[in-house]
């Protein structure tokens, strides 16, 4: 396994179009996270899954955003009716959560850079 994989690496779209990004986590990692990062800022949490269950969504995740992880493996993040403010790097991470309150390592993919024109 070579780590977290994200596709595409870059996406340019016109305002109003829908886009979908894919994330393949490290095998057997049960947690998967989506973050958004704009220039000069730290990654901002969007949502995360434990297996196929979406456990938390940020207020940043408007109704135009939807994420799925149908079989507890790969995940998709869809943005409908894109706006220029959606331009950012979208990062995916995965971790192997063993239960309880103990934090574990999270590994990030290289991200998908979205540009809305």
Partner 1 sequence: GENVEQHPSTLSVQEGDSAVIKCTYSDSASNYFPWYKQELGKGPQLIIDIRSNVGEKKDQRIAVTLNKTAKHFSLHITETQPEDSAVYFCAPTSGTYKYIFGTGTRLKVLA
- Total residues contacting partner 1 by CB under 8 A comes to 30
Near partner 1 by CB under 8 A, which window of 11-19, 66-74, 75-83, 97-105? Answer: 97-105
CB burial of 41-67 (b: ≥16 within 10 Å; e: otherwise) equals eebeebbbbeeeebeeeeeebeeebbb
Q: Pick between residue 5 and residue 66 the one whose CB is nearest to partner 1.
A: 5
**Site for partner 1 contains 78 (CB under 8 A):** no
Relative to beta strand 10-13, strand 112-116 is: parallel
Near partner 1 by CB under 8 A, which window of 13-21, 64-72, 74-82, 93-101? Answer: 93-101
**Site for partner 1 contains 103 (CB under 8 A):** yes
Question: d(Cα 29, Cα 31) in Å, to the nearest integer?
Answer: 6
Q: What string of H, E and C letters represents the secondary structure of 65-80? A: EEEECCCCCCEEEEEC
Per-residue binding string, partner 1, 9-48, x by CB under 8 A, is ------------------------x-x----xxxxxx--x
Q: Pick between residue 14 and residue 28 the one whose CB is nearest to partner 1.
A: 28
Q: Which residues contact 113 (CB under 8 A, 6 or more apart)?
A: 9, 10, 11, 88, 89, 90
Site of interaction with partner 1 (CB under 8 A): 4, 6, 33, 35, 40-45, 48, 56, 91, 93, 97-111, 113
């Amino acid at each position: 396994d070579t780590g977290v994989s994200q596709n595409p690496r870059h996406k340019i779209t016109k305002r109003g179009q829908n886009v979908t990004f894919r994330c393949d986590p490290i095998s057997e990692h049960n947690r998967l996270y989506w973050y958004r990062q704009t220039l000069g800022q730290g990654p901002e949490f969007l949502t995360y899954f434990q297996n196929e269950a979406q456990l938390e969504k940020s207020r940043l995740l408007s109704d135009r955003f939807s994420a799925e992880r149908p079989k507890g493996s790969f995940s998709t993040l869809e943005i409908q009716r894109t706006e220029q403010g959606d331009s950012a790097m979208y990062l995916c991470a995965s971790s192997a959560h063993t239960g309880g309150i103990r934090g574990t390592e999270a590994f990030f993919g290289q991200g998908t850079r979205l540009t809305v024109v």
